[in-house]
């Protein structure tokens, strides 16, 4: 399959995912303190989800740029990756509507973990069959962090939602540092 077709399809799905998240938000009916606090929570969760989707998009676009060819297994894994990632708006809305409920956070965590695992398989099949150990250490640390957020959600769903923003921030910091190292 030509890479540009898969890239165009994938970029379209990423754009739709972000659009669905923002369309799931509603302005408060009145601007009371409670409604504004709730709306600010929605904006925070939107930013958090957007940073996560953006991180997946950036990694995915770099992967497809570096891939020499796209075998059938790569197309299948890519579709599976996008299907699971498409659940993010569902759980984002759940976290917005029920910030003190564990279920939406667990759904969000499971979606991110499954998406990450499928991405690792996609990475393996398309580009990097000889992954370095240091990359695996970072990846395992990320998985452990996301699982820890899921565990925390059983005790404090809202706190785990707030802590989850660390995941994309660290991911973006690592990407920025590695791009600076490439420039030098």
Query: How confident is the prediction for the chain on average, in pLDDT?
Result: 87
Q: How many other CB atoms are there within 10 angstroms of residue 165's CB atom? A: 16
pLDDT score, position 30: 92
Long-range contact list for 8-12, CB < 8 A, 24+ apart? 10/60, 10/61, 10/64, 10/78, 10/82, 11/57, 11/61
Report how far apart the first and last C-alpha atoms of the chain are (Å, whole number). Answer: 35
pLDDT score, position 147: 87
How many structural domains does the chain have? 1
Of residues 67 and 96, the one with the higher pLDDT is 96
Q: How many other CB atoms are there within 10 angstroms of residue 92's CB atom? A: 28
pLDDT score, position 164: 83
Asked if the model's pLDDT at residue 121 lies above 80, the reply is: yes
Range of 61's domain?
A: 3-183
pLDDT score, position 133: 42
pLDDT score, position 86: 98
Stated pTM of the model: 0.86
């Amino acid at each position: 399959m030509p890479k540009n077709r898969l890239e165009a399809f994938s970029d379209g799905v990423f754009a739709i995912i972000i659009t669905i998240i923002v369309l799931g938000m509603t302005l408060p009916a009145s601007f009371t303190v409670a409604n504004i606090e709730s709306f600010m929570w929605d904006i925070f969760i939107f930013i958090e989800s957007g940073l996560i989707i953006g991180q997946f998009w950036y990694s995915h676009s770099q992967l497809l740029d570096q891939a020499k060819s796209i075998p059938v297994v790569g197309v299948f894994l890519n579709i599976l990756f996008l299907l699971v990632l498409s659940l993010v708006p569902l759980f984002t809305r759940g976290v917005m509507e029920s910030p003190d409920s564990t279920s939406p956070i667990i759904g969000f965590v499971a979606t991110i973990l499954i998406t990450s695992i499928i991405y690792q398989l996609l990475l393996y099949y398309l580009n990097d069959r000889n992954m370095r150990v240091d990359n695996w250490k970072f990846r395992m640390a990320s998985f452990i962090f996301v699982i820890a957020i899921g565990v925390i959600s059983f005790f404090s769903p809202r706190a785990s939602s707030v802590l989850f923003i660390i995941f994309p921030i660290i991911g973006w910091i690592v990407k920025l540092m590695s791009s600076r190292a490439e420039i030098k």
